[in-house]
């Protein structure tokens, strides 16, 4: 069955009712949204994703309802977000919180901390090791975002367990500075002190997010820090995809299509 939302061009397949349905979106909430696997279907490579044509307009509507209290929280860079969602250009945290832009467009220019410098040095030591590992498996490729490095193996999913074990082993010496996060056919090395939960917490200290109940929607292991932070504050955490016993999210939507229909219903309210 397909559902067409009033005033939107979205046509998404509907799924069986989720196990724990999130409540309708409240315009008084602070809305935080992951991107890949949440707003966009995952593609074989990040640059191949398709953005539904009505999605930027819907983000603008949802942000306007909340007087700007909507932010994208993603592993992508801010420049990549602006390319994908133009003309939308709202609040966002990129590279898992290493980059952050406020609702008014100002960039948070933080001076590098000692943990930042330690993590950067650790990544420099890891880059040649990851290159050697990627050469071992044709089809594996490296995405270097500067402050994080990811190893993608979507082309060879049958080698996933072997690849994750190899990366984890070579990264053990850098465990104080970096942490490997296993995602959907990807393993990303991130600074241990930079994560989506910290980015959400930073937004919640500022207008227009301050004082609002936070709601975060994500789909992957990199989103669990965000779920935990939102839960700690009495907010709403929503995991996209099948229910998993290791997720701390309190609610679930089965697919990207369900997320977009849920958001579109709120945008029309």
Tell me whether residue 34 is one of the annotated catalytic residues: yes
Q: What is the secondary structure of 170-183 as a DSSP string?
A: HTGGGTTTEEEEE-
- The angle, 0 to 180 degrees and rounded to 10, between the axes of the packed helices 78-85 and 55-65 is 110
Integer-rounded Cα radius of gyration of the chain: 18
Closest CA to 55 of 38, 67, 30, 79: 38
* E-state strands within the chain: 2-4, 11-13, 30-33, 70-73, 91-94, 99-101, 141-144, 149-152, 178-182, 186-191, 214-218, 236-240, 251-253
Per the CB < 8 A criterion, the answer to whether 91 and 68 are in contact is yes
**Active-site pick, 34, 36, 80, 258:** 34
- Catalytic machinery residues: 34
């Amino acid at each position: 069955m397909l559902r067409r939302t009033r005033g939107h061009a979205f046509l998404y397949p509907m799924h069986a009712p989720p196990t724990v349905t999130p409540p309708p979106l409240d315009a008084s909430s602070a809305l935080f949204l992951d991107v890949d696997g949440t707003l966009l279907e995952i593609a074989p490579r990040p640059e191949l994703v398709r953005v539904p044509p009505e999605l930027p307009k819907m983000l603008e509507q949802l942000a306007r309802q909340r007087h700007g209290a909507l932010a994208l929280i993603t592993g992508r860079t801010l420049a990549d977000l602006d390319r994908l969602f133009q003309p939308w250009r709202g609040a966002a945290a990129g590279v898992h919180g290493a980059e952050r832009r406020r609702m008014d467009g100002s960039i948070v220019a933080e001076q590098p901390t000692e943990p930042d410098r330690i993590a950067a040095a650790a990544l420099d030591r890891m880059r040649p090791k990851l290159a050697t590992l990627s050469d071992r498996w044709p089809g594996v490729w490296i995405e270097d975002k500067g402050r994080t490095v990811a190893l993608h193996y979507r082309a060879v999913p049958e080698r996933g367990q072997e690849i994750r074990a190899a990366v984890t082993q070579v990264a053990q010496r850098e465990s104080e500075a970096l942490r490997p996060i296993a995602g959907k056919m990807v393993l990303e090395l991130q600074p241990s002190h930079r994560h989506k939960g910290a980015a959400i917490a930073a937004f919640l200290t500022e207008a227009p997010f301050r004082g609002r109940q936070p709601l975060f929607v994500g789909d992957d292991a990199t989103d669990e820090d965000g779920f935990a932070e939102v839960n700690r504050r009495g907010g709403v955490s929503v995991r996209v995809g099948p229910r998993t016993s290791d997720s701390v999210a309190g609610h679930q939507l089965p697919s990207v299509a369900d997320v977009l229909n849920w958001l579109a219903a709120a945008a029309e309210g």
